[in-house]
Structure 1
Amino acid sequence: MWRNRNVWIVLIGEFVVGLGLWAGIIGNLAFMTEFVASDFHKSVILAIGMLAGVIVAPLAGKIIDASSKKKVLIGSSIARVITVFVMFAAIAFDSVLLMIVFLILLQIAATFFMPAIQSIIPKIVDKKDLLSLNGWHMNARTLSRIVGAASAGLFVAYVDLIWLYVVSLIMYAVVLVTLFFLHIDESIVESKTQKKESSSFKEVLPVLKQYPVVLVTLVLIVVPILFLGSFNLMIMKIAQMHDSTSISGLLYTVEGVGFMLGAIAVKYLGIRMKTGTMMFSLALLIGVLQSLLFFSTIEIMNVVIFAVFGFAVGCFFPTTMTIFQKQMPAEYHGRFFAFRNMIDQTLFQLVLLSTGALLDWFGLPITGLAFGLFSLMLTIFFMLYLKSKKYSLAFE
């Protein structure tokens, strides 16, 4: 796998585009701090960008399935480069409106880019290497988040804001150039049948019913999202409970390190365990970890929970991605991954809002216990569901 040039292009591209993305995110926060006083207004502005991605996702999936995925990647990368100039204008004119346009356009570009990358991965490696490559792909994204956020945070303290977007522009341009060296087999049979199959985003839903394993896996993603969607709120609550700001940095660190170790270890776990067994085991483990937040008043318990959670999620997402890539027919990959990303973004928003309310009403221990019990019941229900359909839980 490591001798495959396409693998390096995908991994380096993911890391570099992440650096550009996080430089832009830190820049956006700094810009809003200066021109937007209300925290609620800031959250609305950020939500508008995500909403644009949800709206465009059906079109993105349809185009990805009907077109060359390499061309979609190049097109969305060109759009990213052009979009940065909108932010240059926003800074020049101190315009929040132009910044909103920038966020919308950037999210739309990402809505095309991410499903196309996820559709390409099964085309560049053998099936036996899918789990490993998905793990390293997650690691590249996590490493870019750590390096990008830390570097941009330091950078913005010493230079003008516009230079963060110059860095973003350079990173996006580098990714654009590397994509031209991507070589994949995208031979498309121009039959009427295939054209019909690629015609509608809505056709993904009936297909899901034919593949119960894919449907179950898609629903079980709710389990880690309950934790991830409320991640920042929970860490702020823990810091408040223990009257310590240093614990926040510690929890972010142990979770990030755990995630990277999990994404590496998933390859070796995959040798010893069937993919289905691993997914259900990890979902149960995450449910237990959420329940253990009932003991969040114990400081060391939080460190252990977040470290193990990072490891579990680092294993979980490459595992589920491998299931999707293997079980879902290739001709539906673009629309399916666009649909999956749309669901993820919607769930993140719902979890964020509901967690805020639950933390205000009941506090972290009860909220964590409620999330944990829900996750455990959901996982056990779908284990029983697959068994009732005569499916083995130890599927590949």
Structure 2
Amino acid sequence: MKLLLQNKNYMYLLWGYTFSILVDSIVFMMCLKIVEVLSNNTTSYTFLYIFHYIPAVLFSLWIGAWINSKKLEKVMITSLIVRIAILLTFLFADGLNNLSMVYLFIFIESFISIFFFPSTDTLVTKIVNKEQRLMANGFIKLLYVLMQGMGFGISTILIKMNISLVFILGICLIALVIATFFISKINKHYEITLQKQNIVKEVLDTMRYLQQHKLTSKIFILFAIAWLVASSIDLIVISYLTNVSKVSSDNFGIVAIIVFVGMILGAHLSSYLYDKINVKYIFSFPLLVYSVTVLSMYFFQQWTYTLPFFLLGGFSLGFFEVCFTTFLQDYNDEQYYTRIFSFQNMILSSMPLPGMLFLGVFIEWSGIKLTIIIVSFLLFVVSIFAYLTNYKQVNDQEIKDIV
């Protein structure tokens, strides 16, 4: 850890990433508040989430291919500068009073993040030794969780204090300037050496790579199925609290805090566990634990009894996120990093919408109890498939053959 903390390039990246994520969470909360003020109906919130997720679904692979041979820190700096410009434009154009402008703004914000996140995960492999990579990923994922929670907390407190939304967005501007400063301090330029080709060919090349790299393809399929359900778990928890435990939905905040604490512990301990356990458990164990976490809501009517299970569920989620990123770095050729992480981002952003729509309808149709059983069973089945998957590591010669 000492060597990692002495790595100035990594620390600059870490601080820049921290302020960027903080702004992400604050801005999204601001958009939710603006929608509440301007409309406050379910359709308006649905459109906000659609415009938030749809850019990654449509553009992740193309942008991943475009940044593949670019200087990653320059891509990140440019994306931050564009965010500053967009935020200023939004303020001066009086976007706080126009619902269409809010949708356009969140769309552009999400679009720009497609450049930032794959560049971050790829840049880690360029500025950190392989021996320190797992811990480096752990800090990145840990700060993501912390800044998401802190951003939501800060924005909620400021709103309740009746602080002007313009003032809050002004804080976001300052944070983005600080993030840009730190990323610009990275004093070496890293890029993936690759023969120049057009973006369409690179996307097709990525599809061929995934088709031939069976292990990565299987993992992404398992991840997509699991995330389709897990990303929509909030609906089940809220319905459980209000319909089964008969308590206010505000208690969801306590459940979320417990999950965040578990994620922090899981992300921290992952650096000690990753090399000590079989790869199959990295994917099967978190799914099994989350299956039990969901099932606990079926057996306990008193919601406080489920909190230890949500702590374990958060732990497994934090452990998985760090190990999954490290796994993708270890088991794939470096020239595909930006495209692989863009593909991961596409799955993360595309699964929540159909998951929420399906679960929302299913809960109304069958009730919360049956929904809990079905979701828990689905996660359990996916964990079995994850356990039975062949995790044969690809050697250098096989990678050359694929490429």
Q: TM-score, normalised by structure 2?
A: 0.89
Which position in structure 2 is the counterpart of 1:106? 109
1:169 deviates by: 1.0
User: Does residue 362 in structure 1 map to residue 362 in structure 2?
Assistant: no
Measure, in 2, the Cα distance between the counterparts of 1:128 and 1:275: 17
Which position in structure 2 is the counterpart of 1:145? 148
Question: Structure 1 88/296 Cα, relative in aligned 2: closer, same or farther at 3 Å?
Answer: farther
Q: Equivalent residues in 2 for 1:20-99 (5 A)?
A: 20-91=23-94, 94-99=97-102
Structure 1, 84-93 or 140-149: larger mean CA deviation:
84-93
Of 231, 239, 243, which residue of structure 2 is paired with 1:237? 239
The 8 Å contact of residues 226 and 371 in structure 1, kept in 2 or not, is answered as no
Which position in structure 2 is the counterpart of 1:317? 321
User: Does residue 336 in structure 1 map to residue 340 in structure 2?
Assistant: yes
Which position in structure 2 is the counterpart of 1:375? 379
1:94 deviates by: 1.9
Q: Which amino acid aligns with 1:102?
A: F
Measure, in 2, the Cα distance between the counterparts of 1:282 and 1:133: 21
The 8 Å contact of residues 135 and 263 in structure 1, kept in 2 or not, is answered as yes
Measure, in 1, the Cα distance between the counterparts of 2:193 and 2:312: 46
Q: Equivalent residues in 2 for 1:198-209 (5 A)?
A: 199-209=201-211
1:93 deviates by: 7.0
1:36 deviates by: 1.7
Of 255, 260, 264, which residue of structure 2 is paired with 1:260? 264
User: Does residue 352 in structure 1 map to residue 353 in structure 2?
Assistant: no
Question: Structure 1 46/249 Cα, relative in aligned 2: closer, same or farther at 3 Å?
Answer: closer
The 8 Å contact of residues 30 and 165 in structure 2, kept in 1 or not, is answered as yes
The 8 Å contact of residues 16 and 172 in structure 1, kept in 2 or not, is answered as yes
1:143 deviates by: 0.8
Which position in structure 2 is the counterpart of 1:215? 217
User: Does residue 182 in structure 1 map to residue 182 in structure 2?
Assistant: no
1:368 deviates by: 2.3
Question: Structure 1 183/286 Cα, relative in aligned 2: closer, same or farther at 3 Å?
Answer: farther
Measure, in 2, the Cα distance between the counterparts of 1:188 and 1:278: 28
Question: Structure 1 197/96 Cα, relative in aligned 2: closer, same or farther at 3 Å?
Answer: closer
SS of alignment partner, residue 195 of structure 1: coil
After superposition, what is the alpha-carbon deviation per residue over 1:38-65, rounded to whole angstroms, capped at 9, x for unaligned?
2212211331232123222232111110
SS of alignment partner, residue 221 of structure 1: helix
1:95 deviates by: 1.9
Segments of 5+ residues of structure 2 without an aligned counterpart are 395-403
Measure, in 1, the Cα distance between the counterparts of 2:379 and 2:209: 26
Measure, in 1, the Cα distance between the counterparts of 2:127 and 2:46: 38
Of 163, 168, 178, which residue of structure 1 is paired with 2:172? 168
1:332 deviates by: 1.1
Measure, in 1, the Cα distance between the counterparts of 2:232 and 2:48: 19
Q: Which amino acid aligns with 2:219?
A: T
Question: Structure 1 286/196 Cα, relative in aligned 2: closer, same or farther at 3 Å?
Answer: same
The 8 Å contact of residues 239 and 247 in structure 1, kept in 2 or not, is answered as yes
The 8 Å contact of residues 227 and 290 in structure 1, kept in 2 or not, is answered as no
Measure, in 2, the Cα distance between the counterparts of 1:176 and 1:109: 14
Measure, in 2, the Cα distance between the counterparts of 1:93 and 1:364: 37
SS of alignment partner, residue 390 of structure 2: helix
1:171 deviates by: 1.0
1:139 deviates by: 1.0
Measure, in 1, the Cα distance between the counterparts of 2:77 and 2:281: 37
Q: Which amino acid aligns with 2:270?
A: V
Measure, in 2, the Cα distance between the counterparts of 1:101 and 1:80: 13
Q: TM-score, normalised by structure 1?
A: 0.90
The 8 Å contact of residues 75 and 119 in structure 2, kept in 1 or not, is answered as yes
Structure 1, 302-311 or 378-387: larger mean CA deviation:
378-387
Q: Which amino acid aligns with 2:337?
A: H
Identical counterparts, % of pairs: 19
1:259 deviates by: 0.7
After the TM superposition, which segments of 4 or more aligned residues of structure 1 sit over 6 Å from their partners? Answer: none
Measure, in 2, the Cα distance between the counterparts of 1:92 and 1:342: 28
Measure, in 1, the Cα distance between the counterparts of 2:75 and 2:393: 37
Q: Which amino acid aligns with 1:152?
A: S
Q: Which amino acid aligns with 1:237?
A: S
Measure, in 2, the Cα distance between the counterparts of 1:305 and 1:227: 17
Q: Which amino acid aligns with 2:47?
A: V
